[in-house]
Structures are given as C-alpha cells and as structure tokens.
Chain A
Amino acid sequence: MKTVFKRTPSLKDTQTHYCPGCGHGLAHRLLAEAIDELGIHDRTIGIAPVGCAVLAYDYLDVDMIEVAHGRAPAVATGMKRTNPDKIIFSYQGDGDLAAIGTAEIIHAAHRAEQITVIFINNAVFGMTGGQMAPTTLLGQVTTTTPQGRQSNGQGFPLQISELLAILPGAIYVERCSVYNPAQISNTKKAIKHAFELQMNGAKGLSLVEVLSPCPTYWHMSPARSMEWIEKEMTKVFPLGKLKDIA
C-alpha cells in the first residue's frame, strides 16, 4: 500500500473554524498544494482578507499578513515592488474584493502589478451573517433580500473577472469552481499557472476566481450547495479562461 493522498506540508495540521461543507477549506488546500508543488514555500507571502477567511494565516504555513478590508491588492503592490523576488498572493472573498475593495483590485490590475489574486466568490457575505453581496444572484434570498434580489433597486450580480479581463494589465484571469473533483483539479491547475506566471516574471496581474459554496447562508445542505453552483451559479458566472496572454 502506498499513500497517494495526504495533507500537504504548507497546510497546518489544525482544525479550521469554517462551517461543514465550506469551500474555503478546499481553496486553502489547493493553494497549499500549489505552493508545495512549485517549491516556493520559502519565498511566498500571502495576504489574508477580512471575511470568513480572516484567520487564513492560522491554516496556511507561509508568511502571511492581515490587512484592512479590501486593501489587499494595494498592500500586495508595496510588497511586490519592495521584494520583487518574493511570490505575493492575496486571498480575498467577494465582500472583500468585489464590494469594499473594488477600487483597489481594478487599479492594481490597471497598473499591471505582478501579483496573484485568489478570489473566492460565494455570492453572499458570510462572516457578517449572510447579507446580500454585489455578486448575489438575482432572486437569491439573503438576510437583506428576504424576497430575493431584485435588479430594480438592488442591481445585478457583479462579474469581476469579466471586468478585469478587459484591462491590459491583467494577464491571466480564470474562473473555476470546486463543485466536483474534476473542477477541483482544474482549480489547482489554474492556481499553479497563476503562480508560475508570477515566478517567470510575467508583467501583469493574475487572478483566479473560485466559485465556492456557503451552505450555511444559502440555507442548503453541503451536497445541494455543490449542485446549486453547477446548475445556477455557473449560468451567471460562466467557468473558463477569460484571459491568458502569457
């Protein structure tokens, strides 16, 4: 018998605080595996977001910093410019990146900063209690949209990846998901590719969006949440490579 799957060293051997079936645990694992497989553990610096993944630095065994809400791309800019040999990534949720931090991510991409952004999109504000996020789907029931989100007054779901893909400074933008093992492998490939671009000194920002489940605030079982991503969420947020000019 040969062990073919076990916890990767860059993922600390601790229990996470996430709810059962949360996608953050998966994203952390894929990130840690990508870091270990590329052998960049010693020179990687991560940025934890404000949101459910605020304690990501307790789970990922790389140097990490916690920054103000939404300002991760701005801090990453400074880190990369002063330490060009380091691999800098920011790990942000949709409340962090698509709501309060929209200006920072757009301008970081616009300036072609050589950083990697992992964007976890679960269409809801998880940490604060399931309120509507800019990425919430039309008709989706949240704490602040009890009748379901209506475009008249509450707007449409914000497609950050499409928005960034049109900027010349963004060199790699891909939207992935974690709803089945095949998609999980794809997501890992995308994260690795984004890191490889940064390692090779590609001039621009790389972003991997991960559609991730939030069973607690979608009021669904974990298995049903995965189905919901596949059937409903991917209609509004189509999966695939939006840009790869490397």
Chain B
Amino acid sequence: MAGKIKINTERCKGCGLCITVCPKNGIVLSKHPNKHGYFPAQANNHDCNGCAACATICPDVVIEVSREVNIVEVKEIKKQNCGIKTKINY
C-alpha cells in the first residue's frame, strides 16, 4: 500500500465524484447514512497509490491523502539515476 486516504464521513455529502475518478476503484458509498442523512464515501485503501485524484475533485474537501514517497521525490530519484530503472517504494 503506497498511499492512503482519510475521508471525513460526517462532512461528506455522498456526491460520488471521487468514485468516478479513482483509477483503482478503491472508493464505494457507505450503506449507512451520516448524521446529515447522506451516504458518505468509504475507502478500502487496499490498492491506493496516493494519486490524490479523489481529493482534487472532492467539492467538500473531505479527503486527506498521504503516500509513501512524494511524486517530486520520485522525479528527483529518476533524475539522479539518469534513466536507470531502480525499484522505488511507490
């Protein structure tokens, strides 16, 4: 698991836009409503790579994303290795 998302389910309005953009199909709508009566998004985080597409499109800014290695760091590592393929924990 290279990435992880945390959804504030009490603020989520269940619009489902995060589900449409997740490349790993890692988000589903909960079967249990929150205190406002919306069915919030729920992450399984099994295959998450921390791309943050879900957080980018979330209109209510309820998703927080963390990942093992920052994309910038990955780019820097690639630059240093001048195209030599190395295993990156990402």
| Nearest-CB residue, chain A, relative to B50 | A4
Complex-state Cα separation, A9 to B66, whole angstroms: 18
Q: Cα distance A4–B69 when bound, in Å?
A: 9
Per the 8 Å Cβ criterion, residues 195-224 of A in contact with B are 215, 221-223
Are A25 and B70 CB-contacts (below 8 A) given A5-B65, A222-B16? no
Interface set, chain B 28-85, CB cutoff 8 A to A: 38, 50, 52-53, 55-61, 63-71
- How many interface residues does chain B have, given as a range? 20 to 34
Which B residues are in CB contact (< 8 Å) with A29? 61
Taking the nearest CB of chain B, how far is it from the CB of A177, in angstroms? Answer: 12
User: Please, which residue of chain A has its CB at the minimum distance from the CB of B52?
Assistant: A5
What residues on B are CB-neighbors of A25 within 8 Å?
58-61
By a CB distance below 8 angstroms, the chain A residues around B60 are: 15-16, 18, 25
**Most chain A beta-carbon neighbours within 10 Å: one of B52, B56, B70:** B56
B63 touches A5 (CB 8 A): yes
A231 interfacial contact with B, CB 8 Å: no
> Is A184 a contact of B15 with CB atoms below 8 Å?
no
Whether B4 and A21, one on each chain, are in contact in the complex, defined by CB atoms closer than 8 angstroms, is: no
- The answer to whether B57 and A184 have CB atoms under 8 Å apart is yes
Does more than half of chain A's interface fall in helix, strand or loop, or is it mixed?
mixed
A11 contacts the other chain (Cβ, under 8 Å)?
yes
With a cutoff of 8 Å between Cβ atoms, the chain B residues found around residue A181 in the complex are: 21, 53, 56-57
* Nearest-Cβ distance from residue A239 to partner chain B, whole angstroms: 17
* Chain B residues within 8 Å of A103, by CB: none
User: What's the interface size class on A, roughly?
Assistant: 20 to 34
With A20-B38, A22-B59, A25-B60 already in contact, the answer to whether A4 and B52 are too (CB < 8 A) is yes
Cβ-defined contact, B64 with A5, below 8 A: yes
Known: A21-B15, A223-B20. A185 touches B56 (CB 8 A): yes
Known: A23-B59, A223-B16. A2 touches B64 (CB 8 A): no
Complex partner residue of A3 from B14, B19, B66, CB under 8 angstroms:
B66
Neighbouring A residues of B52 by C-beta, 8 Å: 4-5
A20 to B59 CA separation, bound complex (whole angstroms)? 8
Contact sample, A vs B, 11 pairs, CB 8 Å cutoff: A2-B67, A3-B64, A3-B65, A4-B70, A19-B13, A21-B13, A21-B17, A25-B58, A26-B57, A184-B56, A222-B15
Q: A23-B59, A223-B17 are in contact. List 18 more A-B contacts (CB 8 A).
A: A1-B68, A2-B68, A3-B66, A4-B65, A4-B70, A5-B55, A5-B56, A5-B63, A15-B60, A18-B59, A20-B38, A20-B59, A21-B13, A21-B15, A22-B59, A181-B56, A222-B17, A223-B19
